[in-house]
Amino acid sequence: MLKTTEALKKVQTGVQKAIGKQKARVLLCAGTGCVANGSLKIYDEFVRVLKEKKLYTTVDVLLQAEGSDSGIVVSHSGCHGFCQRGPLVRIEPLDIFYTNVKPGDVAEIVETTLIKGEPVEHLLYHDPATGKASRNEEGVPFYKKQMRVSLQNCGKINPEDIREYIAHDGYQAIAKAVLEMTPEEVIKTVLDSGLRGRGGGGFPTGRKWQFARDNKSDKKYVVCNGDEGDPGAFMDRSVLEGDPHRVVEGMMLAGYAIGADEGYAYVRAEYPLAVSRLRKAIEDARKEGLLGKNIFGTNFSFDINIKEGAGAFVCGEETALLASVEGRRGMPNPRPPYPAVKGLWGQPTVINNVETLANLSPILLNGPEWFRSYGMGNSSGTKTFALAGHVVNTGLVEIPMGRTLREIVFEIGGGVREGHQFKAVQIGGPSGGCLCEQHLDLPMEYDSLKSVGAMVGSGGMVVMDETTCMVRIARFFMEFAQNESCGKCVPCREGTKQMLGLLTKITEGQGTMEDLALLEELALSVRDGALCGLGKTAPNPVLTTLKYFKHEYLAHIQQKRCPAGECPALKSYTIDPEKCKGCGLCLRNCPVNAISGEKGKPHAIDGDKCIKCDTCIQKCRFGAINKN
Amino acid sequence: MSPESRKFSKVDAIIRNHDSKPSHLVAILQEIQAEYRYLPEEVLTYVATALGIPAATVYGVSTFYTQFSMNPKGKYIIKVCNGTACHVKGSEKIKYLVQKELGLNDKKNTTDDLQFTLETVSCIGACGLAPAVMVNDNEVHGQMTPEAMEIVLKDIKSRKDTTEAAAAGKEN
Amino acid sequence: MAKILVDNKEVELNGERNLLEVIRKAGINLPTFCYHSELSIYGACRMCTVEVEKMGLVAACSTPPTDGMVVYTNTDRTRRLRRMVIELLLADHHRDCTTCDKNGSCKLQELAYQLGVRKVRFPEKTELKPIDTSSTGLVRDPNKCILCGDCVRMCSEVQGIGVLTFANRGSKTEVTPAFSKPMAEVDCVSCGQCVSVCPTGALTVKSEKEAVRKALDDQTKTVVVQIAPAVRVAVGDAFGEKHGEAVTGKIVTALRRMGFNKVFDTVITADLTAIEETTEFIDRVQNNRNLPQFTSCCPGWVKYCEQFHPDLLDNLSTCKSPQQMFGAVAKRFYAKEIGVEPQDLFLVSVMPCTAKKFEAQRPEFSIDGVRDVDAVLSTVELIQMIQESGLVFEELEGEAFDAPLGLASGAGVIFGVTGGVAEAALRTAAGILGGDGPHQIDFREVRGFEGIKEAVVTVGGIELKLAVVSGLANTERLIQAVKDGKANYHLIEVMTCPGGCVGGGGQPVSTDGKARISRGKSLYAVDKEMPFRTPLENLAVNQMYDKWLEKPGSHISHESLHTTYGPKRRINGAEIQIENSPQAVVDVAVCVGTGCYLRGAYEVLDQFTDLADSDKYAGLVNLKATFCLENCDKGVSVKVGDKLITGVNKDTAAATFRREVDALLK
């Protein structure tokens, strides 16, 4: 039981010492991305090979061992962010970083790196432009400009071992808060840091806490919003999977600040690994007495329950989330009353997003000035963006607020694929907007994004090149909004449905100029009239594409043409009988059996069945298929 | 014990583990669905009785969340991610491939033998590996192509054969 | 005094709960679909969106007013938004308005016209869902539903039942009973409060006008009609009368001119009910049994009691309701007196109530297939029939009811308002117990429109504790208090609808509680003007006893005026198959409905499952869990073969199983 700072420090130094005894440590990224790429197999392979060579050890062994007995520890870690190049392997203390590791590479790594201390050249990251290899992350452009605060421990520690978190200053912030600070001082520190909600709205966290603190009640709650529903964002998942104790400690700090003794962590159902890691973290913290009654021997008591979502984007909205925690349909309620006044079961409640919570312990430990030294204007600190889509490097990117879009897309992201052109970035998911070339030098922070009709949102950032049709993207988001609308208020329920209808009509080449005018009028009404934040922002993708890509809408309407060549209704496929050899490759691969023809004779495409998926074009070895 | 009675005794255990609290309704339904692979109406009526809430309320919650199904789902649930990143990287093609391979369409998403259910989901948080596919909550496949998907399906089908063969072996 | 500016007009704040109330106080009728002062704030229709300085656009219904607010209700943005909301709703609405039952009283229609929506630019709704006509009292047309949720909140918040829910989400959202079942197969008590708050034609009263017209046209039928007390103070609403004005005479004239052979008054059997019920009550008090006595005039409450409190059925008065007493008297005695066969006497009742339609069709209330009451018209249907007939109601001269079933006391009149049945009982009790001389008439303790009232009254030297409750959620609270031993009464009057029958589901729609208060007050005014005010003084009732019924509580009156009710299941549906073998020879079912569940049905089921799985019985027994064998008052019920065994508990379960199954296996 860790009931004093001394006990905590003792564990910290003990574990640090034990870890210091290891000869080396192999950290295998066990985030969802790398697991999908087979990192667990590589883990097993490392263990097998090292055991064979009698080099294998564990932290538990090291803690027990006397003297300087050494060995190599193999450990899972959270997400390193560079998912696309996974599985990722880090070797400490040699400070070597490998990408795209395969089980077959393990023996070589053990031999060359772990035994001889040399890097395996072909597993290092090579800059695609210069071909230069880089021994660690610092030489990788993807990491160079990053500044990791909320993701600090992700990729560095074993998320399933509370001792490793403690070794990395874990639970010191809460110890400092409860032993040395009043709740008001904690709130003031967070206020001074300028931390704003990282989940979308950007409301100052300290102010939210102050409201909840000011509402006197015997029972208050802290809720962690882990319902990361924005398609294209996965930083909350990475934090929960890679550093769950950080979130637990953040919730405790919030609880101490507002006077709550109970917390709920709401995690979406699509993140089973995050749920199990968080569950283990909570159990371990309880075992150590870090959660429960009289934390660090003070009057502060706090415990956390987990609630799993069941698949509803709208539950990211705080009043809907509360309804869902209470076991009801996740439908938002009008605010006021705000949750800080009347939240979970009618009690004052603070709801903070995962990333927000993960920023708290560094703020408490390093002070508000440190945090404010990053960022710009009213947006201090760092923000994690999930970079995806048509860029060379995809993954999680944490940077100080205020960096430009250009830095993210072109320097960190490595630009668009070769032979393609940058067209747009969709920021902030279904609530955000589509930005174009002219915004590349826009600083990425709350206020400037808002001024151009987008928002930081949860930080999803999907890059699109010239092959993406912007009307279709607007339609895609509207379909999403329509499916995910809770159905309560008229503007969102009916408005998104009708906007989707209009956008479908336009992408099918059936739209009129009246439809375009109606679309804009409707989008503005939904923005004005919807009940909750999600409904109000649902028209953003439409409004921003109308603003920055109107010419694409006009091309669909006036010329019945899709400039990106993406809209199925506006293209047709034919087979050139001169070039077709009748090999049957396209026929076999067509997902809807739209191609027919005898072997050896020219084939034909049935336009009614064809879904214009491009598969046949990619398959044909003779360039016989034409797209118009 | 027949499989049905085993399932039903679990239902009651689930409800008791949650102290019959209406606020745990979502979790109770999740655990019941894990047993039955869907939410049978009569079991929901029983849940309403045990929790002391209207059956209509249980129905309202069951139909709100996409995770819940009032119809039996397949043993393997294939979730094709259609988040933004996966969408722009061609997740539709993967969906078509699965539909073609399993004889499904937009209206019919479960195979008649109750082995497969195809769902499109709005983001599984593997955007860095778009397009991604998740099988049964514990298996993620990234950077998918129709060809790769075909292999994944084949692999699952072979698993099915082995588990069934094993089951048959036991009976004999 | 705190003030706000509404469209540049200063308005003082005086404890209003939200901005909408303040704006309406300022004389601006801000439109809403989902706001009802008696229901929780829902904030979904967005029609009441206004612009507030420094806040922007907000929904007035969910915004608390604060001092110094500057509010604009009629700006370009709010107008555009409101029109767009209407247009969106119309696009998703089955627009067969001219033939809709709500034509002329539909709020969507009214606001579309008022706000100048003349065109719907979105495609017309094409896919129509089936209309649910299964209920005896209500019709649910999902194609007309605008999802304002008023019915959902009414049913759960005011009536405490929660028959209706939202299902699905997004554009697939719908309002439906559990599992999309027909209304007739769920726990709906047909009170019609959902109808009374529905702004469109999505929930309407099931019409029986056609059956009545057919009977009126049929020369072989003698068509008589009875009119409930609350009807007379609501019909005038539709014809420009002052709200709540009693227009009894004109209604009589109108019905006569429409072709009814005799026009009678339900009040006479309300008087009869009061006498029978009070006689029964005095007997129970004197013998201290089955107390508290619950009134049984209200069919919504009776069904609620059958479904949710079968253990209280013995506490229910055995008296039929005034409508059904009238039916019994008319079909069994009056028909004979005028020489008409019961099947040729067509009895219509005009009721403020939709549950009365359900009551009239209950099997308890017919003999050899001939119903005591043949058709029930709601007040609204009566209004429609008067309008269809072309009668200029405003100009009719009032006429009197027909004899012999037209004479009424004031006590019977107030049956239509909360507290009235209790007061009628007290007046009767005072008469019975008080000996000769004048008795107390007015019992103001039980009057008023609060949901739960309590009174202690001394009558004939006996101190009686009474409770009067309206609204089923209030009723449930009261019952729980009684069951928990926190309250204890001799008599509990229950009316399903808030305010009593004056606020019934068959009355013309009103969006606030004011209408029912004016109607209720009007009934008390009528009572006060009546020549006699206690049932015992009603000569026509006394004649009934002399001619047909002997005396209160006699054998013959029990046979015709009293009944019994039994437990009812809440929801129809499949059973849970637990053991299902093709070779099984014995069917065993264990009830897991609420009553049995609370008595430990699961433990019984658990033991049965083990036994059915045991070597001796494996494969021989089909075991299932079923929802309500309708014997809830007697402990866990099980069924083995065709035999129903009640009162099983965990100690007797195994023995019962063995005994009964073995008997059948032989």
Please report, rounded to a whole number, the percentage of residues in chain A having pLDDT higher than 90. 67
Q: Which residues of C628-645 are buried (b: 16+ CB within 10 A; e: fewer)?
A: bbbbbbbbbbbbbeeeeb
- Where on the phi/psi map is residue C162: left (φ > 0), alpha (ψ -120 to 50), or beta? left
- The DSSP bridge pattern shows strands A221-226 and A349-353 to be parallel
pLDDT at A308: 94
Mutation pick from B77, B92, B127 vs chain A, by most beta carbons of A within 10 Å, is B127
Strand partners, A494: none
> Is A196 in the same domain as A343?
yes
Rg (CA), chain C: 27
> Is A311 in the same domain as A368?
yes
Residue A155 lies in a domain: no
Asked if residue A72 lies in contact with residue A23, where contact means CB atoms within 8 angstroms, the answer is yes
- Overall domain count for chain A: 5
- C164 vs B56: CB contact, 8 Å cut-off? yes
Kindly identify which residue of chain A lies nearest to residue C172, measuring between CA atoms: A487
**Residue among C53, C364, C394, C550 flagged as catalytic:** C364
What is the rounded average pLDDT of the residues A55-82?
82
> Is A199 in the same domain as A316?
yes
Asked if residue C393 lies in contact with residue C239, where contact means CB atoms within 8 angstroms, the answer is yes
> Is A54 in the same domain as A100?
yes
| C603 Cβ contact list (under 8 Å, min separation 6) | C650, C653
Query: Mean pLDDT score of chain A, rounded to an integer?
Result: 92
Q: How confident is the model at residue B171 (pLDDT cuts 50, 70, 90)?
A: very low
Domain boundary among the residues A414, A437, A465 is at A465
pLDDT at B163: 53
**Residue among C277, C381, C493, C660 flagged as catalytic:** C277
* Residue with tokens 């309560």, as numbered in its chain: A488
Interface residue C123 vs chain A (CB under 8 A) = yes
Domain C576-665 annotated CATH 3.90.550.10: no
Q: How is residue C36 annotated by DSSP?
A: -
H or E element in which residue A426 lies: strand A422-427
- B122 vs A468: CB contact, 8 Å cut-off? no
What is the rounded average pLDDT of the residues A292-308?
96
Q: How far is CA C6 from the centre of its chain?
A: 40
Amino acid at C380: V
Q: How far is CA C85 from the centre of its chain?
A: 32
> Is A406 in the same domain as A259?
no
- Residues of chain C in contact with residue B45, where contact means CB-CB under 8 angstroms, are 178, 571, 573, 627
DSSP string computed for C500-529: SGGG-TTSPP-SSTHHHHHHHHHHHHHHHH
Task: Please determine, for residue C564, whether its predicted confidence score (pLDDT) is greater than 80.
Answer: yes
Kindly identify which residue of chain B lies nearest to residue C592, measuring between CA atoms: B46
H or E element in which residue A489 lies: none
Amino acid at C230: A
User: What does the alpha-carbon distance between residue A506 and residue A508 come to, in Å, rounded to a whole number?
Assistant: 5
- Interface confidence, given as ipTM, is 0.92
User: What does the alpha-carbon distance between residue A426 and residue A390 come to, in Å, rounded to a whole number?
Assistant: 11
- Other Cβ atoms within 10 Å of C111 Cβ, number: 21
- Residues of chain C in contact with residue B56, where contact means CB-CB under 8 angstroms, are 162-165, 176-178, 186
Residue A276 lies in a domain: yes
> Is A320 in the same domain as A205?
yes
What is the rounded average pLDDT of the residues C218-238?
96
pTM for this model (two decimals): 0.92
Q: Where are the domains of chain C?
A: 3-74, 87-205, 210-561, 576-665
Asked if residue A157 lies in contact with residue A243, where contact means CB atoms within 8 angstroms, the answer is yes
Asked if residue C173 lies in contact with residue A493, where contact means CB atoms within 8 angstroms, the answer is yes
What is the rounded average pLDDT of the residues A434-452?
91
Kindly identify which residue of chain A lies nearest to residue B68, measuring between CA atoms: A310
Picking from C168, C177, C597, the nearest residue to B56 by CB comes out as C177
| Structure token digits, residue C599 | 């008595």
Query: Mean pLDDT score of chain C, rounded to an integer?
Result: 94
Q: Write out the residue range of the structural domain in which residue A180 sits.
A: 169-372
- pLDDT tens profile A103-123: 999 999 999 999 999 999 999
User: What does the alpha-carbon distance between residue C62 and residue C70 come to, in Å, rounded to a whole number?
Assistant: 16
> Is A113 in the same domain as A131?
yes
Q: Residue A223 phi/psi, 5° resolution?
A: -120, 130
pLDDT at B170: 41
**C497 among known catalytic residues:** no
User: What does the alpha-carbon distance between residue A358 and residue A240 come to, in Å, rounded to a whole number?
Assistant: 9
Residue A5 lies in a domain: no
- Residues of chain A in contact with residue B60, where contact means CB-CB under 8 angstroms, are 329
Strand partners, A435: A425
User: What does the alpha-carbon distance between residue A571 and residue C297 come to, in Å, rounded to a whole number?
Assistant: 71
All domains in chain B, ordered by first residue:
3-64 (1.10.10), 76-167 (3.40.30.10)
Q: Which residues of C576-601 are buried (b: 16+ CB within 10 A; e: fewer)?
A: bbbbeeeebebebbbbbbbbbbebbb
Picking from C42, C80, C123, the nearest residue to A501 by CB comes out as C123
Strand partners, C459: C462
**C359 among known catalytic residues:** yes
- Other Cβ atoms within 10 Å of A34 Cβ, number: 31
Task: Please determine, for residue C283, whether its predicted confidence score (pLDDT) is greater than 60.
Answer: yes
| Structure token digits, residue A375 | 């960022």
> Is A358 in the same domain as A247?
yes
Q: Which residues of B46-63 are buried (b: 16+ CB within 10 A; e: fewer)?
A: bbbbbbebbbbbbbbbbb
Alpha helices in A22-139, H assignment, sequence order: 32-36, 39-52, 59-64, 106-108
Asked if residue C77 lies in contact with residue C56, where contact means CB atoms within 8 angstroms, the answer is no
Q: How far is CA A159 from the centre of its chain?
A: 17
Q: How confident is the model at residue B168 (pLDDT cuts 50, 70, 90)?
A: very low
Residue A148 lies in a domain: no
- A231 vs B22: CB contact, 8 Å cut-off? no
Interface residue A534 vs chain B (CB under 8 A) = no
Asked if residue A88 lies in contact with residue A29, where contact means CB atoms within 8 angstroms, the answer is yes
Task: Please determine, for residue B2, whether its predicted confidence score (pLDDT) is greater than 60.
Answer: no
What is the rounded average pLDDT of the residues B154-172?
61
Domain boundary among the residues A372, A394, A421 is at A372
Strand partners, C164: C177
- Residues of chain A in contact with residue C171, where contact means CB-CB under 8 angstroms, are 482, 485, 487, 493-494, 496-497
- Residues of chain A in contact with residue B19, where contact means CB-CB under 8 angstroms, are none
Picking from C59, C85, C171, the nearest residue to A487 by CB comes out as C171
Asked if residue C354 lies in contact with residue C297, where contact means CB atoms within 8 angstroms, the answer is no
Picking from B4, B41, B59, the nearest residue to C165 by CB comes out as B59
Domain boundary among the residues A528, A558, A588 is at A558
Strand partners, A464: A424
Q: Any idea which of A592-606, B116-130, C262-276 has the lowest mean pLDDT?
A: B116-130
- A529 vs C171: CB contact, 8 Å cut-off? no
> Is A42 in the same domain as A191?
no
DSSP strands (E only) in C362-484: 366-367, 370-371, 375-378, 452-459, 462-470
| Structure token digits, residue A230 | 């924005």
Smallest Cα–Cα separation from C386: which of C551, C270, C256? C256
- Residues of chain C in contact with residue B1, where contact means CB-CB under 8 angstroms, are 609, 613
pLDDT at A67: 63
Q: How far is CA C478 from the centre of its chain?
A: 18
**C48 among known catalytic residues:** no
Asked if residue C229 lies in contact with residue C168, where contact means CB atoms within 8 angstroms, the answer is no
Residue A99 lies in a domain: yes
Half-sphere exposure at residue C599, Cβ-oriented, CA atoms within 13 angstroms: 23
- pLDDT tens profile B91-117: 988 998 899 899 998 889 999 999 999
Shortest Cα distance from C206 to chain A (angstroms)? 28
DSSP strands (E only) in A106-243: 125-126, 133-134, 221-226
pLDDT at B8: 82
Rg (CA), chain A: 27
Asked if residue A370 lies in contact with residue A411, where contact means CB atoms within 8 angstroms, the answer is no
> C3-74: which CATH topology?
Ubiquitin-like (UB roll) (3.10.20)
* Residue with tokens 């992201």, as numbered in its chain: A413
> Is A94 in the same domain as A58?
yes
3 state DSSP class of A564: coil
> Is A175 in the same domain as A221?
yes
Picking from B26, B93, B142, the nearest residue to A327 by CB comes out as B26
**C317 among known catalytic residues:** yes
> Is A108 in the same domain as A73?
yes
User: What does the alpha-carbon distance between residue B105 and residue B102 come to, in Å, rounded to a whole number?
Assistant: 9
User: What does the alpha-carbon distance between residue C472 and residue C156 come to, in Å, rounded to a whole number?
Assistant: 9
H or E element in which residue C396 lies: none
Task: Please determine, for residue C144, whether its predicted confidence score (pLDDT) is greater than 60.
Answer: yes
pLDDT at B165: 47
What is the rounded average pLDDT of the residues A391-413?
92
pLDDT at B59: 97
What's the Cα-to-Cα distance from C22 to each of C66, C241, C498, C512, rounded to whole Å? 11, 28, 25, 16
Give the chains touching C; criterion: ≥3 Cβ pairs < 8 Å.
A, B
Amino acid at A128: P
Give the chains touching A; criterion: ≥3 Cβ pairs < 8 Å.
B, C
Task: Please determine, for residue B1, whether its predicted confidence score (pLDDT) is greater than 70.
Answer: no
- The DSSP bridge pattern shows strands A72-77 and A56-57 to be parallel
What's the Cα-to-Cα distance from A2 to each of A256, A292, A299, rounded to whole Å? 18, 11, 15
| Structure token digits, residue A232 | 């294209």
Domain C87-205 annotated CATH 3.30.70.580: no
- B1 vs C609: CB contact, 8 Å cut-off? yes
3 state DSSP class of C140: strand
Strand partners, C5: C10, C70
Q: How far is CA C229 from the centre of its chain?
A: 16
User: What does the alpha-carbon distance between residue C304 and residue C568 come to, in Å, rounded to a whole number?
Assistant: 9
**C194 among known catalytic residues:** no
Picking from C57, C84, C173, the nearest residue to A487 by CB comes out as C173
> C210-561: which CATH topology?
Rossmann fold (3.40.50)
- Residues of chain B in contact with residue C187, where contact means CB-CB under 8 angstroms, are 54-55
What is the rounded average pLDDT of the residues A180-194?
97
- B93 vs A591: CB contact, 8 Å cut-off? yes
What is the rounded average pLDDT of the residues C386-404?
95
Q: Residue A163 phi/psi, 5° resolution?
A: -65, -35
**Residue among C297, C497, C591, C628 flagged as catalytic:** C297
Of B109 and B2, the one with more pLDDT: B109
